């Protein structure tokens, strides 16, 4: 494998006019905060290093193409935060931490929110999303917006993850010919390639955990309702959620706590009362595996013998640390993916129309019907993929339709009480685990994605939490382990996942191969 070594590959960065060097390779939130307190460097200096690295590696170098937009006010924000820090004011645990947002998350600033579509290429939301608001309140520096699978990958009968008409194709930092997965492709790549400290992705089904798998990082897909979706371009009211992506579980947990809270703009968040925390680091227990009963979902066992080998090693590690591992061959006896797809079509139509209305009188597109007209007349949009899901959604009725209500009831019943809850109660399980997916496939704009095995659906369709952490590597390509469970079980999942992460330390920084 040929390695590309750009100027900043060693991550030793000399700041212009300054004798300091700042090594950001695999740096953590705690290390940054310690450096700020010690006066080793300023927030402004660190932000400049990240902006330089994005220019060198993402735009030039191996040209990962993970960042759609740079925040033109990033340095201005950093300077303001430096002034506050000098006065002893610390907004929160993310004070001065560089963050990237997936570009379906609204920011009310000089950046657009595009969802990767030419129809929203110049769209200016009227207010911050809940996510952006909470990040700013905690002192984060939003560096920019990440490329994504267009419309969070709900647009065509087949597609290439990480491709959007606005941004083109995002590349995997471990091998730029391979796919980063999606739809939070740019978020996953930016974190893995050390272009930011943390990133925010969104998931409907697999869009956080799959990029975590392909890019060798941590991804937390929370219980739906733990984090507000207000100001996020939607697919599904029932399944959508934002979530943190980071190189370490501790960093992801810090970010998760910042983003919780009840938001009147998202009724789902009312369900989190008494079930959420502002500090999830309290659950990071290095001995968190001991005594746990964990199910191993064997649905895809035998699909890839080298993934099976990594999984066998993970099971051996869990058992060596005092866990009991029980094989389970299914989550539900009923197909829940078909009703889930119907729910997504209905909720995508309603959700998009509501989102377009939120953009006000200057919205660049007013309805799904108009979006279809714009998309199907655009040569870039139609170059590779058919966008037929937009038409399928448009044909659906409203959310009072019998077909929708029946599909929603069937999906929730069989994924929850008849699915994860049933299996976990039967075997008295604390969590369920499975390989997150296969190693990254070759990007193919002609035939689309080749996911192989994946384990995101049970938790995603139920709206339950799922954490993916690195499990090992195959030919230099990372593979993740997913740990999921019942609603609001983030504390327990974090305990287990952290214990595994700290005991194995499988995360390996990419070397930008081709």
Q: Catalytic pick from 156, 161, 207, 499?
A: 207
347: buried, middle or exposed (CB in 10 Å: 19+, 13-18, 0-12)?
buried
**What is the torsional sign of CA 457, 261, 348, 410?**
positive
Nearest in space to 252 (alpha carbons), one of 199, 300, 288: 199
Q: Quote the CA–CA distance of 98 and 138 in Å, as a whole number.
A: 12
Residue among 66, 161, 183, 192 flagged as catalytic = 183
Taking Cα atoms as reference points, which of 61, 330, 306 lies closest to residue 173?
A: 61
Torsion on CA atoms 247, 249, 255, 257, rounded to nearest 10: 180
Kindly list the distances between the CA atom of residue 303 and the CA atoms of 222, 295, 308, 468, in Å, as whole numbers in the listed order.
28, 19, 8, 19
Virtual torsion, Cα 481, 485, 490, 493, nearest 10 deg: -40
Residues 6+ apart with CB under 8 A from 338: none
User: What is each CA distance from 160 to 242, 269, 445, in whole angstroms?
Assistant: 21, 32, 6
Strand (E) positions, 211-260? 218-221, 241-246
Q: How many residues does the chain have?
A: 514
**In angstroms, rounded to a whole number, what is the distance separating the alpha carbons of residues 351 and 367?**
10
Among this protein's residues, is 183 annotated catalytic?
A: yes
In angstroms, rounded to a whole number, what is the distance separating the alpha carbons of residues 159 and 47?
A: 34
- Cα 469 vs. chain centroid, distance in angstroms? 12
The distance from CA 64 to its chain's CA centroid, rounded to whole angstroms, is 17
Q: Please tell me which residue in 102, 171, 396, 486 is annotated as part of the active site.
A: 102
DSSP 109: S
Residue of 201, 232, 233 lying closest to 217 (CA atoms):
201
List CB contacts of 426: < 8 A, sequence separation 6 or more.
none
102 among known catalytic residues: yes
Which long-range contacts does 234-237 make (Cβ < 8 Å, 24+ apart)? 234/347, 234/348, 234/351, 234/352, 234/354, 234/355, 235/151, 235/152, 235/154, 235/204, 235/344, 235/347, 235/348, 235/351, 236/204, 236/343, 236/344, 236/347, 236/348, 236/351, 237/268, 237/347, 237/350, 237/351
Give how far the C-alpha of residue 231 lies from the chain's centroid of Cα atoms, to the nearest Å.
16
Catalytically annotated residues: 102, 183, 207
């Amino acid at each position: 494998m040929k390695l590309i070594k750009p100027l900043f590959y060693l991550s030793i960065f000399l700041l212009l006019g300054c004798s300091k060097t700042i090594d950001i390779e695999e740096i953590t939130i705690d290390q940054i905060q310690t450096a700020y307190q010690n006066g080793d460097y300023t927030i402004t200096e660190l932000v400049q290093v990240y902006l330089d690295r994005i220019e060198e590696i993402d735009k030039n170098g191996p040209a990962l193409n993970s960042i759609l937009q740079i925040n033109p006010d990033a340095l201005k924000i950093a300077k303001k935060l430096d002034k506050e820090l000098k006065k002893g004011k610390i907004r929160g645990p993310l004070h001065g931490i560089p963050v990237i947002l997936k570009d379906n998350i609204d920011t009310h600033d000089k950046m657009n929110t595009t969802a990767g579509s030419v129809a929203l290429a110049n769209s200016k939301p009227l207010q911050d999303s809940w996510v952006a608001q909470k990040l700013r309140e905690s002192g984060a520096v939003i560096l920019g917006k990440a490329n994504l699978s267009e419309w969070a990958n709900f647009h065509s009968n087949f597609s290439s993850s990480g491709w959007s008409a606005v941004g083109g194709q995002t590349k995997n930092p471990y091998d730029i010919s391979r796919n980063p997965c999606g739809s939070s492709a740019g978020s996953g790549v930016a974190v893995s390639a050390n272009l930011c400290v943390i990133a925010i992705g969104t998931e409907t089904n697999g869009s956080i955990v799959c990029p975590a798998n392909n890019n060798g990082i941590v991804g937390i897909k929370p219980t739906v309702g733990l984090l507000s979706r207000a100001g996020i371009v939607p697919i599904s009211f029932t399944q959508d959620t934002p979530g943190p992506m980071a190189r370490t579980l501790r960093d992801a947990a810090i970010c998760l706590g910042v983003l919780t809270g009840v938001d009147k703009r998202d009724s789902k968040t009312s369900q989190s009362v008494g079930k959420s925390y502002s500090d999830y680091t309290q659950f990071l227990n290095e001995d968190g595996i001991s005594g746990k009963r964990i199910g191993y979902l064997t649905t895809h066992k035998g699909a890839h013998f080298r993934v099976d080998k990594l999984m066998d090693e993970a099971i051996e590690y869990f058992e060596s640390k005092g866990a009991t591992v029980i094989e389970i061959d299914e989550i539900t006896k009923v197909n829940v993916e078909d009703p889930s797809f119907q729910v997504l079509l209905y909720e995508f139509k309603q959700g998009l129309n509501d989102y377009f209305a939120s953009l006000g009188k200057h919205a660049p597109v007013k309805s799904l019907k108009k979006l279809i007209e714009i998309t199907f007349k655009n040569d870039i949009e139609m170059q590779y993929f058919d966008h037929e899901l937009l038409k399928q959604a448009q044909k659906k009725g409203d959310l009072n339709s019998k077909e929708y209500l029946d599909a929603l009831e069937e999906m929730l019943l069989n994924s929850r009480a008849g699915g994860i809850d049933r299996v976990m109660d039967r075997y008295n399980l604390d969590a369920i685990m499975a390989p997150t997916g296969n190693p990254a496939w070759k990007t193919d704009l002609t035939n689309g994605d080749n996911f192989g095995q994946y384990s995101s659906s049970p938790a995603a369709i139920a709206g339950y939490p799922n954490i993916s952490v690195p499990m090992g590597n195959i030919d230099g390509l990372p593979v993740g382990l997913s740990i999921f469970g019942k609603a609001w079980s983030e504390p327990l999942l974090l305990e287990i996942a952290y214990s595994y992460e700290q005991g194995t330390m499988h995360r390996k920084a990419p070397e930008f191969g081709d």
